[in-house]
Amino acid sequence: MLAGKHVLLIISGGIAAFKSLDLIRRLRERDVQVTPVLTRAAEQFVTPLSVSALAGTKVYRDLFDLTDEAEMGHIELSRAADLVVVAPASADLMAKMAAGLANDLASTLLLATDKRVLIAPAMNVRMWDHPATQRNLATLQADGVLSVGPNSGDMACGEYGPGRMSEPLEIVDGIAAALGEGSLQGKRILITSGPTHEPIDPVRYIANRSSGAQGTALANALADLGAEVHFVTGPASAAMPRAAQITRVETARAMKDAVMAALPADAAIFAAAVADWHVTSASDSKIKKEGDGLPILSFAENPDILAGVAQLKTGRPKLVIGFAAETDDVIAHATAKRLRKGCDWIVANDVSPETGIMGGTENDVTLITQDGAEDWPRMPKSDVSRQLAARIAEALG
Ligand code: CTP
Protein backbone atom coordinates (compact mmCIF):
# COMPACT_ATOMS: atom_id res chain seq x y z
CA MET A 1 0.00 0.00 0.00
CA LEU A 2 1.39 3.34 -1.02
CA ALA A 3 -1.10 5.41 0.99
CA GLY A 4 0.61 7.66 3.51
CA LYS A 5 4.04 7.40 1.87
CA HIS A 6 6.00 10.56 1.10
CA VAL A 7 7.87 11.07 -2.17
CA LEU A 8 10.28 13.89 -2.91
CA LEU A 9 9.84 14.31 -6.67
CA ILE A 10 12.65 16.06 -8.53
CA ILE A 11 11.61 17.17 -12.03
CA SER A 12 14.54 17.99 -14.29
CA GLY A 13 14.49 19.65 -17.70
CA GLY A 14 13.17 17.79 -20.71
CA ILE A 15 10.03 17.44 -22.77
CA ALA A 16 9.07 14.39 -20.65
CA ALA A 17 8.52 16.77 -17.71
CA PHE A 18 4.91 17.12 -18.87
CA LYS A 19 4.38 13.44 -17.98
CA SER A 20 5.46 14.21 -14.43
CA LEU A 21 2.25 16.19 -13.99
CA ASP A 22 0.32 12.97 -14.60
CA LEU A 23 2.73 11.11 -12.30
CA ILE A 24 1.87 13.55 -9.50
CA ARG A 25 -1.84 12.98 -10.17
CA ARG A 26 -1.40 9.18 -10.08
CA LEU A 27 0.52 9.39 -6.81
CA ARG A 28 -2.03 11.74 -5.24
CA GLU A 29 -4.84 9.33 -6.26
CA ARG A 30 -3.00 6.73 -4.18
CA ASP A 31 -2.76 9.14 -1.22
CA VAL A 32 0.97 9.58 -1.62
CA GLN A 33 2.30 12.88 -0.32
CA VAL A 34 4.39 14.52 -3.07
CA THR A 35 6.92 17.26 -2.42
CA PRO A 36 7.97 18.63 -5.82
CA VAL A 37 11.31 20.17 -6.72
CA LEU A 38 11.83 21.85 -10.09
CA THR A 39 15.21 22.49 -11.68
CA ARG A 40 15.55 25.74 -13.61
CA ALA A 41 15.50 23.81 -16.89
CA ALA A 42 12.30 22.01 -15.85
CA GLU A 43 10.56 25.37 -15.55
CA GLN A 44 10.97 25.74 -19.32
CA PHE A 45 8.63 22.75 -19.73
CA VAL A 46 6.17 22.87 -16.80
CA THR A 47 5.13 25.78 -14.63
CA PRO A 48 5.62 25.82 -10.86
CA LEU A 49 1.95 26.77 -10.57
CA SER A 50 0.65 23.66 -12.34
CA VAL A 51 3.01 21.40 -10.38
CA SER A 52 2.01 23.02 -7.11
CA ALA A 53 -1.71 22.82 -7.94
CA LEU A 54 -1.51 19.09 -8.70
CA ALA A 55 0.72 18.25 -5.74
CA GLY A 56 -1.42 20.38 -3.43
CA THR A 57 1.72 21.80 -1.86
CA LYS A 58 4.55 24.26 -2.29
CA VAL A 59 7.13 23.72 -5.05
CA TYR A 60 10.81 24.01 -4.13
CA ARG A 61 12.74 25.78 -6.85
CA ASP A 62 16.15 27.13 -5.98
CA LEU A 63 18.99 26.42 -3.59
CA PHE A 64 19.42 30.04 -2.69
CA ASP A 65 15.79 30.78 -1.90
CA LEU A 66 16.32 32.18 1.59
CA THR A 67 12.69 31.77 2.61
CA ASP A 68 12.85 28.05 1.92
CA GLU A 69 16.10 27.77 3.78
CA ALA A 70 14.45 29.41 6.78
CA GLU A 71 11.35 27.19 6.52
CA MET A 72 13.07 23.91 5.76
CA GLY A 73 16.77 23.45 5.06
CA HIS A 74 17.79 21.36 2.09
CA ILE A 75 19.23 18.66 4.34
CA GLU A 76 15.89 18.27 6.06
CA LEU A 77 14.02 18.44 2.76
CA SER A 78 16.16 15.63 1.35
CA ARG A 79 15.45 13.39 4.31
CA ALA A 80 11.81 14.03 5.13
CA ALA A 81 10.54 11.77 2.33
CA ASP A 82 10.43 7.95 2.19
CA LEU A 83 11.87 7.95 -1.33
CA VAL A 84 13.48 10.44 -3.71
CA VAL A 85 12.23 10.12 -7.30
CA VAL A 86 13.86 11.89 -10.24
CA ALA A 87 11.43 12.00 -13.18
CA PRO A 88 12.45 12.88 -15.76
CA ALA A 89 16.13 12.32 -15.03
CA SER A 90 17.99 14.24 -17.76
CA ALA A 91 21.43 13.21 -19.01
CA ASP A 92 22.79 16.32 -17.32
CA LEU A 93 21.31 15.54 -13.91
CA MET A 94 22.44 11.90 -14.14
CA ALA A 95 25.97 13.15 -14.87
CA LYS A 96 25.84 15.48 -11.87
CA MET A 97 24.59 12.68 -9.64
CA ALA A 98 27.31 10.30 -10.83
CA ALA A 99 29.98 12.94 -10.24
CA GLY A 100 28.57 13.96 -6.84
CA LEU A 101 28.08 17.60 -7.82
CA ALA A 102 25.89 19.85 -5.72
CA ASN A 103 25.50 23.13 -7.56
CA ASP A 104 21.75 23.59 -7.50
CA LEU A 105 18.85 22.53 -5.29
CA ALA A 106 18.14 19.21 -7.09
CA SER A 107 21.75 17.98 -7.11
CA THR A 108 22.28 19.15 -3.52
CA LEU A 109 19.21 17.25 -2.32
CA LEU A 110 20.41 14.14 -4.17
CA LEU A 111 23.82 14.35 -2.53
CA ALA A 112 22.44 15.07 0.93
CA THR A 113 19.70 12.46 1.06
CA ASP A 114 19.87 9.33 3.18
CA LYS A 115 16.88 7.78 1.35
CA ARG A 116 16.75 5.52 -1.69
CA VAL A 117 16.71 7.25 -5.04
CA LEU A 118 14.77 6.11 -8.10
CA ILE A 119 15.46 7.70 -11.48
CA ALA A 120 13.28 7.64 -14.61
CA PRO A 121 15.70 8.70 -17.36
CA ALA A 122 14.47 10.59 -20.44
CA MET A 123 16.62 11.91 -23.24
CA ASN A 124 17.45 11.68 -26.93
CA VAL A 125 18.41 8.16 -27.99
CA ARG A 126 21.99 9.14 -28.88
CA MET A 127 22.43 10.84 -25.54
CA TRP A 128 21.15 7.68 -23.83
CA ASP A 129 23.44 5.41 -25.87
CA HIS A 130 26.46 7.67 -25.38
CA PRO A 131 29.23 5.92 -23.43
CA ALA A 132 29.27 8.80 -20.94
CA THR A 133 25.59 8.32 -20.04
CA GLN A 134 25.95 4.54 -19.88
CA ARG A 135 29.02 4.99 -17.65
CA ASN A 136 27.06 7.37 -15.40
CA LEU A 137 24.17 4.90 -15.24
CA ALA A 138 26.54 2.10 -14.22
CA THR A 139 28.04 4.34 -11.52
CA LEU A 140 24.61 5.26 -10.20
CA GLN A 141 23.50 1.61 -10.18
CA ALA A 142 26.66 0.65 -8.30
CA ASP A 143 25.76 3.40 -5.80
CA GLY A 144 22.40 1.70 -5.26
CA VAL A 145 20.30 4.12 -7.31
CA LEU A 146 17.23 2.37 -8.75
CA SER A 147 15.93 3.07 -12.23
CA VAL A 148 12.80 2.60 -14.27
CA GLY A 149 12.96 2.83 -18.06
CA PRO A 150 13.66 4.40 -20.42
CA ASN A 151 11.31 2.83 -22.94
CA SER A 152 11.86 2.53 -26.66
CA GLY A 153 9.63 4.32 -29.13
CA ASP A 154 9.06 7.50 -31.13
CA MET A 155 10.65 10.47 -29.45
CA ALA A 156 9.68 14.11 -29.37
CA CYS A 157 12.92 14.92 -31.26
CA GLY A 158 11.77 12.77 -34.20
CA GLU A 159 14.16 9.87 -33.57
CA TYR A 160 13.30 6.34 -32.55
CA GLY A 161 14.84 4.15 -29.88
CA PRO A 162 15.42 3.96 -26.13
CA GLY A 163 15.12 7.28 -24.35
CA ARG A 164 11.41 7.86 -23.73
CA MET A 165 10.57 8.28 -20.09
CA SER A 166 8.53 5.38 -18.67
CA GLU A 167 4.81 5.96 -18.45
CA PRO A 168 3.51 7.38 -15.13
CA LEU A 169 1.95 4.05 -14.09
CA GLU A 170 5.24 2.23 -14.74
CA ILE A 171 6.97 4.76 -12.50
CA VAL A 172 4.27 4.24 -9.85
CA ASP A 173 5.06 0.50 -10.00
CA GLY A 174 8.77 1.30 -9.66
CA ILE A 175 8.03 3.53 -6.65
CA ALA A 176 5.96 0.78 -5.01
CA ALA A 177 8.74 -1.75 -5.54
CA ALA A 178 11.39 0.67 -4.24
CA LEU A 179 9.30 1.13 -1.10
CA GLY A 180 8.98 -2.62 -0.65
CA GLU A 181 5.32 -2.46 -1.64
CA GLY A 182 5.50 -4.05 -5.11
CA SER A 183 2.83 -6.60 -5.97
CA LEU A 184 5.56 -9.20 -6.69
CA GLN A 185 7.62 -8.46 -3.59
CA GLY A 186 9.14 -11.66 -2.23
CA LYS A 187 8.38 -13.65 -5.42
CA ARG A 188 11.14 -15.37 -7.32
CA ILE A 189 10.71 -15.51 -11.08
CA LEU A 190 12.83 -17.39 -13.59
CA ILE A 191 12.98 -16.21 -17.22
CA THR A 192 14.71 -17.76 -20.22
CA SER A 193 15.52 -15.37 -23.05
CA GLY A 194 17.34 -14.89 -26.34
CA PRO A 195 18.38 -17.42 -28.96
CA THR A 196 20.62 -20.43 -28.42
CA HIS A 197 23.71 -21.17 -30.46
CA GLU A 198 24.34 -24.78 -31.44
CA PRO A 199 27.94 -25.29 -32.58
CA ILE A 200 28.87 -26.95 -35.86
CA ASP A 201 32.58 -26.49 -35.23
CA PRO A 202 34.58 -23.98 -33.11
CA VAL A 203 33.74 -21.05 -35.44
CA ARG A 204 30.29 -21.89 -36.86
CA TYR A 205 26.94 -22.35 -35.19
CA ILE A 206 23.21 -22.64 -35.86
CA ALA A 207 21.17 -19.77 -34.41
CA ASN A 208 17.89 -17.90 -34.92
CA ARG A 209 16.71 -14.30 -35.20
CA SER A 210 15.60 -13.81 -31.58
CA SER A 211 17.06 -10.59 -30.09
CA GLY A 212 16.01 -11.30 -26.50
CA ALA A 213 14.14 -7.95 -26.37
CA GLN A 214 10.89 -9.46 -25.08
CA GLY A 215 12.70 -11.39 -22.34
CA THR A 216 14.60 -8.31 -21.17
CA ALA A 217 11.46 -6.17 -21.18
CA LEU A 218 9.67 -8.82 -19.15
CA ALA A 219 12.50 -9.08 -16.63
CA ASN A 220 12.43 -5.29 -16.18
CA ALA A 221 8.65 -5.18 -15.76
CA LEU A 222 8.72 -7.98 -13.17
CA ALA A 223 11.58 -6.33 -11.25
CA ASP A 224 9.61 -3.06 -11.31
CA LEU A 225 6.89 -4.89 -9.35
CA GLY A 226 9.46 -6.04 -6.81
CA ALA A 227 10.13 -9.59 -8.08
CA GLU A 228 13.51 -11.21 -7.63
CA VAL A 229 14.34 -12.17 -11.23
CA HIS A 230 16.72 -14.89 -12.35
CA PHE A 231 17.47 -14.41 -16.05
CA VAL A 232 18.94 -17.28 -18.06
CA THR A 233 19.92 -15.97 -21.46
CA GLY A 234 21.41 -17.22 -24.68
CA PRO A 235 23.66 -14.90 -26.74
CA ALA A 236 21.11 -12.06 -27.11
CA SER A 237 21.68 -8.72 -28.85
CA ALA A 238 19.20 -6.83 -26.63
CA ALA A 239 20.41 -5.02 -23.51
CA MET A 240 20.50 -7.09 -20.35
CA PRO A 241 17.83 -6.44 -17.68
CA ARG A 242 18.53 -3.69 -15.16
CA ALA A 243 18.01 -5.70 -12.01
CA ALA A 244 18.30 -9.46 -12.31
CA GLN A 245 20.59 -12.31 -11.51
CA ILE A 246 21.94 -13.20 -14.96
CA THR A 247 23.23 -16.58 -16.16
CA ARG A 248 24.63 -16.58 -19.69
CA VAL A 249 24.57 -19.78 -21.71
CA GLU A 250 25.13 -20.75 -25.30
CA THR A 251 23.40 -24.02 -26.10
CA ALA A 252 19.93 -25.40 -25.32
CA ARG A 253 21.46 -28.10 -23.16
CA ALA A 254 23.38 -25.54 -21.11
CA MET A 255 20.18 -23.48 -20.81
CA LYS A 256 18.35 -26.49 -19.42
CA ASP A 257 21.06 -27.10 -16.81
CA ALA A 258 21.03 -23.41 -15.79
CA VAL A 259 17.22 -23.43 -15.48
CA MET A 260 17.21 -26.56 -13.32
CA ALA A 261 19.93 -25.06 -11.11
CA ALA A 262 17.92 -21.83 -10.74
CA LEU A 263 14.79 -23.56 -9.39
CA PRO A 264 12.79 -23.28 -7.17
CA ALA A 265 10.78 -20.32 -8.42
CA ASP A 266 7.24 -19.05 -7.93
CA ALA A 267 6.87 -18.59 -11.68
CA ALA A 268 8.92 -19.57 -14.71
CA ILE A 269 8.63 -17.83 -18.06
CA PHE A 270 10.17 -19.34 -21.17
CA ALA A 271 10.75 -16.49 -23.61
CA ALA A 272 13.87 -18.01 -25.18
CA ALA A 273 13.85 -19.13 -28.81
CA VAL A 274 15.50 -22.46 -28.10
CA ALA A 275 17.00 -24.39 -31.01
CA ASP A 276 15.10 -27.62 -31.52
CA TRP A 277 18.19 -29.59 -32.54
CA HIS A 278 21.89 -29.68 -31.89
CA VAL A 279 24.59 -31.01 -34.20
CA THR A 280 25.80 -34.39 -32.98
CA SER A 281 28.53 -34.42 -35.60
CA ALA A 282 29.97 -31.10 -34.33
CA SER A 283 33.70 -31.03 -34.92
CA ASP A 284 36.34 -29.99 -32.39
CA SER A 285 38.37 -28.37 -35.14
CA LYS A 286 37.31 -26.10 -37.99
CA ILE A 287 35.75 -28.05 -40.85
CA LYS A 288 37.76 -27.35 -44.01
CA LYS A 289 36.45 -27.07 -47.59
CA GLU A 290 39.11 -29.32 -49.05
CA GLY A 291 37.62 -32.51 -47.61
CA ASP A 292 35.56 -35.20 -49.26
CA GLY A 293 32.86 -32.96 -50.72
CA LEU A 294 30.11 -31.15 -48.74
CA PRO A 295 29.94 -31.71 -44.98
CA ILE A 296 27.00 -33.78 -43.75
CA LEU A 297 25.60 -32.68 -40.43
CA SER A 298 23.66 -35.04 -38.20
CA PHE A 299 21.29 -33.76 -35.54
CA ALA A 300 19.67 -34.84 -32.28
CA GLU A 301 16.70 -33.22 -30.61
CA ASN A 302 17.36 -30.78 -27.77
CA PRO A 303 15.62 -31.21 -24.42
CA ASP A 304 12.33 -29.29 -24.23
CA ILE A 305 13.12 -27.06 -21.25
CA LEU A 306 9.60 -25.65 -20.88
CA ALA A 307 7.92 -29.07 -21.02
CA GLY A 308 10.47 -30.47 -18.56
CA VAL A 309 9.70 -27.78 -15.97
CA ALA A 310 5.93 -27.74 -16.62
CA GLN A 311 5.78 -31.48 -16.04
CA LEU A 312 7.93 -31.63 -12.90
CA LYS A 313 6.35 -33.86 -10.26
CA THR A 314 7.95 -31.95 -7.41
CA GLY A 315 9.11 -28.38 -7.26
CA ARG A 316 7.01 -27.20 -10.22
CA PRO A 317 6.64 -23.41 -10.16
CA LYS A 318 3.06 -22.35 -9.43
CA LEU A 319 2.84 -20.61 -12.79
CA VAL A 320 4.65 -21.86 -15.91
CA ILE A 321 4.40 -19.67 -19.01
CA GLY A 322 5.59 -20.45 -22.51
CA PHE A 323 5.82 -18.40 -25.68
CA ALA A 324 4.74 -19.74 -29.05
CA ALA A 325 6.32 -18.16 -32.08
CA GLU A 326 4.29 -19.28 -35.09
CA THR A 327 3.95 -18.28 -38.71
CA ASP A 328 0.52 -19.78 -39.47
CA ASP A 329 -2.59 -20.99 -37.61
CA VAL A 330 -1.17 -19.16 -34.61
CA ILE A 331 -4.00 -19.79 -32.14
CA ALA A 332 -4.59 -23.42 -33.07
CA HIS A 333 -0.89 -24.28 -32.87
CA ALA A 334 -0.38 -22.37 -29.65
CA THR A 335 -3.44 -23.90 -27.99
CA ALA A 336 -2.21 -27.37 -28.87
CA LYS A 337 1.30 -26.42 -27.65
CA ARG A 338 -0.05 -25.36 -24.24
CA LEU A 339 -1.65 -28.76 -23.72
CA ARG A 340 1.25 -30.73 -25.17
CA LYS A 341 3.86 -29.00 -23.01
CA GLY A 342 1.71 -28.86 -19.87
CA CYS A 343 2.24 -25.17 -19.15
CA ASP A 344 -0.39 -22.86 -17.64
CA TRP A 345 -0.26 -20.02 -20.15
CA ILE A 346 1.12 -19.55 -23.63
CA VAL A 347 1.86 -16.13 -25.06
CA ALA A 348 1.36 -16.67 -28.78
CA ASN A 349 2.58 -14.44 -31.57
CA ASP A 350 2.84 -14.40 -35.32
CA VAL A 351 6.50 -14.09 -36.29
CA SER A 352 6.03 -14.09 -40.08
CA PRO A 353 8.68 -11.73 -41.52
CA GLU A 354 6.05 -9.17 -42.65
CA THR A 355 4.95 -8.61 -39.02
CA GLY A 356 8.44 -7.27 -38.10
CA ILE A 357 7.99 -8.80 -34.63
CA MET A 358 11.06 -11.03 -34.41
CA GLY A 359 13.93 -8.68 -33.58
CA GLY A 360 11.55 -5.66 -33.57
CA THR A 361 10.32 -3.44 -30.73
CA GLU A 362 6.59 -4.25 -30.92
CA ASN A 363 4.61 -7.39 -30.30
CA ASP A 364 1.10 -8.53 -31.14
CA VAL A 365 0.19 -11.34 -28.77
CA THR A 366 -2.65 -13.65 -27.85
CA LEU A 367 -2.64 -14.92 -24.28
CA ILE A 368 -3.82 -18.51 -24.12
CA THR A 369 -4.90 -19.85 -20.74
CA GLN A 370 -7.18 -22.64 -19.56
CA ASP A 371 -10.05 -20.15 -20.10
CA GLY A 372 -9.34 -19.64 -23.82
CA ALA A 373 -7.59 -17.15 -26.09
CA GLU A 374 -7.35 -13.43 -25.31
CA ASP A 375 -6.24 -11.20 -28.17
CA TRP A 376 -4.14 -8.17 -27.10
CA PRO A 377 -3.68 -5.15 -29.38
CA ARG A 378 -0.28 -4.60 -31.03
CA MET A 379 1.93 -2.58 -28.66
CA PRO A 380 5.58 -2.03 -27.67
CA LYS A 381 7.25 -5.06 -26.08
CA SER A 382 7.64 -3.03 -22.86
CA ASP A 383 3.82 -2.59 -22.66
CA VAL A 384 3.20 -6.29 -23.36
CA SER A 385 5.60 -7.00 -20.53
CA ARG A 386 3.96 -4.62 -18.09
CA GLN A 387 0.52 -6.11 -18.74
CA LEU A 388 1.86 -9.63 -18.47
CA ALA A 389 3.69 -8.75 -15.25
CA ALA A 390 0.46 -7.38 -13.79
CA ARG A 391 -1.37 -10.61 -14.74
CA ILE A 392 1.38 -12.70 -13.19
CA ALA A 393 1.15 -10.67 -9.98
CA GLU A 394 -2.61 -11.31 -9.92
CA ALA A 395 -2.15 -15.05 -10.50
CA LEU A 396 0.53 -15.43 -7.83
CA GLY A 397 -1.66 -13.49 -5.40
N1 CTP B 1 11.07 -24.25 -25.57
C2 CTP B 1 11.93 -24.77 -24.63
N3 CTP B 1 12.83 -25.72 -24.99
C4 CTP B 1 12.90 -26.15 -26.27
C5 CTP B 1 12.03 -25.62 -27.26
C6 CTP B 1 11.13 -24.66 -26.88
O7 CTP B 1 11.88 -24.36 -23.47
N8 CTP B 1 13.79 -27.09 -26.59
C9 CTP B 1 10.06 -23.27 -25.15
C10 CTP B 1 10.25 -21.86 -25.72
O11 CTP B 1 11.03 -21.08 -24.85
C12 CTP B 1 8.82 -21.37 -25.80
C13 CTP B 1 8.02 -22.62 -26.08
O14 CTP B 1 8.83 -23.72 -25.65
O15 CTP B 1 8.36 -20.87 -24.58
C16 CTP B 1 7.61 -22.84 -27.49
O17 CTP B 1 8.70 -22.75 -28.35
P18 CTP B 1 8.51 -23.02 -29.87
O19 CTP B 1 9.85 -22.95 -30.54
O20 CTP B 1 7.40 -22.20 -30.42
O21 CTP B 1 7.98 -24.51 -29.80
P22 CTP B 1 8.58 -25.84 -30.22
O23 CTP B 1 8.36 -26.81 -29.12
O24 CTP B 1 9.99 -25.69 -30.67
O25 CTP B 1 7.62 -26.25 -31.39
P26 CTP B 1 7.75 -26.04 -32.97
O27 CTP B 1 9.14 -25.54 -33.23
O28 CTP B 1 7.46 -27.36 -33.51
O29 CTP B 1 6.68 -25.03 -33.29
CATH number of residue 391's parent domain: 3.40.50.10300
Residues 313 and 358 in one domain: yes
Residues 71 and 171 in one domain: yes
Output the domain CATH number for residue 84: 3.40.50.1950
Ligand 1 centre to CA of 285 (Å) is 30
Select from 178, 207, 235 the last residue of a domain: 178
Residues 305 and 233 in one domain: yes
Pairwise CA distance, residues 105 & 112, whole Å: 10
Residues 289 and 315 in one domain: yes
What is the residue-wise DSSP string for 160-195? Answer: EEEEEPPPHHHHHHHHHHHTT--TTTT-EEEEEESB
- Split into its structural domains, the chain has a count of 2
Residues 150 and 194 in one domain: no
Torsion angles phi and psi, residue 134, rounded to 5: -65, -35
**Host domain of residue 38:** 6-178
Residue 168 lies in a domain: yes
Residue 271 lies in a domain: yes
Residues 228 and 105 in one domain: no
User: Which pLDDT belongs to residue 184?
Assistant: 94
Residues 325 and 267 in one domain: yes
> What's 324's DSSP letter?
E
Before 150, cis peptide (omega within 30)? yes
Residue 107 lies in a domain: yes
Indicate if ligand 1 lies below 6 Å from the C-beta of 275. no
CA distance from start to end of the chain: 15
Q: How far is CA 281 from CA 198, 253, 298, in A?
A: 11, 16, 6
Residue 183 lies in a domain: no
Catalytic residue among 156, 157, 169, 332: 157
Indicate if ligand 1 lies below 6 Å from the C-beta of 346. no
Residues 201 and 259 in one domain: yes
Residue 73 lies in a domain: yes
Q: Is 343 a catalytic residue?
A: no
User: Which pLDDT belongs to residue 161?
Assistant: 79
For residues 11, 13, 16, 17, the Cα torsion angle rounded to the nearest 10 degrees is: 40
Residues 211 and 116 in one domain: no
User: Which pLDDT belongs to residue 190?
Assistant: 98
Residues 241 and 390 in one domain: yes
Asked if 233 contacts 193 with a C-beta cutoff of 8 angstroms, the reply is yes
Residues 276 and 386 in one domain: yes
Indicate if ligand 1 lies below 6 Å from the C-beta of 270. yes
Select from 178, 197, 213 the last residue of a domain: 178
Ligand 1 centre to CA of 230 (Å) is 20
How many Cβ atoms from other residues are within 10 Å of residue 135's Cβ?
12
Residue 106 lies in a domain: yes
Tens-digit pLDDT string for the chain (397 aa): 799 999 999 999 999 999 999 999 999 999 999 999 999 999 999 999 999 999 999 999 876 665 666 666 788 888 899 999 999 999 999 999 999 999 999 999 999 999 999 999 999 999 999 999 999 999 998 888 999 989 887 777 777 778 999 999 999 999 999 998 889 999 999 999 999 999 999 999 999 989 998 899 899 889 988 899 999 999 999 989 878 999 999 999 999 999 999 999 999 999 999 999 999 999 999 998 876 788 899 999 999 999 999 999 999 999 999 999 898 999 999 999 999 999 999 999 888 888 887 777 788 899 999 999 999 999 887 788 889 999 999 999 8
User: Which pLDDT belongs to residue 76?
Assistant: 86
Select from 178, 204, 221 the last residue of a domain: 178
Torsion angles phi and psi, residue 59, rounded to 5: -105, 135
Cβ burial of 187 (10 Å; 0-12, 13-18, 19+) is buried
Pairwise CA distance, residues 285 & 287, whole Å: 6
Residues 91 and 120 in one domain: yes
Ligand 1 centre to CA of 125 (Å) is 34
Residue 92 lies in a domain: yes
Residue 1 lies in a domain: no
Pairwise CA distance, residues 46 & 105, whole Å: 17
